[in-house]
């Protein structure tokens, strides 16, 4: 099993060195991965998101946060950004700071519950 962005695996898939049996995404991906079923299609309720986050220094002010949110919002609206997403078989979802904070908290809560069930969290 390999957990990696699809674009990273693409050369290996195209050369025949790697055969994908499933992709851990909510639905099938387009392009070269269109024939690869999602884990959900195969009855496995597991997905893995590959995301990137920008975190500011402690004490960053609300105006500074707003400035960088607006800069990044403009970047993700460019044709260059959209072309990169398509080239690398990625989907884009831009979250502002409050949404990002909520997403990170949700993932933390979910992963902590899983790790607790597996006995990997200190009590």
Q: Are residues 60 and 46 in the same domain?
A: no
Q: Are residues 23 and 34 in the same domain?
A: yes
Q: What is the residue range of 92's domain? A: 51-123
Q: Are residues 28 and 38 in the same domain?
A: yes
Q: Tally the domains of the chain.
A: 2
Q: What is the pLDDT of residue 117?
A: 94
Q: What is the pLDDT of residue 81?
A: 96
Per-residue pLDDT in tens (0 to 9) along the chain, 123 residues: 777 887 888 888 889 898 889 988 888 887 778 889 999 999 998 888 778 888 889 999 999 999 999 999 999 999 999 999 888 878 889 999 999 999 999 999 999 999 999 999 987
- CB under 8 Å to 36, separation ≥6 — which residues? 20, 21, 22, 23, 28, 29
Q: Are residues 24 and 40 in the same domain?
A: yes
Q: Among 50, 75, 91, give the residue marking a domain's end.
A: 50
Q: What is the pLDDT of residue 13?
A: 85
Q: Are residues 46 and 72 in the same domain?
A: no
Q: Are residues 18 and 72 in the same domain?
A: no
């Amino acid at each position: 099993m390999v957990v990696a962005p699809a674009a990273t695996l693409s050369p290996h898939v195209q050369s025949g060195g790697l055969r994908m049996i499933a992709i851990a995404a909510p639905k099938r991906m387009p392009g070269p991965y269109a024939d690869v079923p999602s884990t959900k299609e195969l009855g496995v309720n597991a997905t893995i998101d590959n995301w990137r986050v920008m975190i500011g220094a402690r004490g960053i002010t609300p105006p500074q946060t707003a400035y960088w949110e607006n800069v990044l919002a403009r970047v993700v609206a460019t044709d260059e950004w959209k072309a990169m997403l398509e080239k690398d078989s990625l989907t884009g979802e831009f979250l502002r700071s409050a949404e990002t904070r909520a997403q990170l908290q949700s993932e933390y809560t979910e992963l902590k519950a899983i790790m607790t069930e597996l006995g990997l969290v200190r009590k």
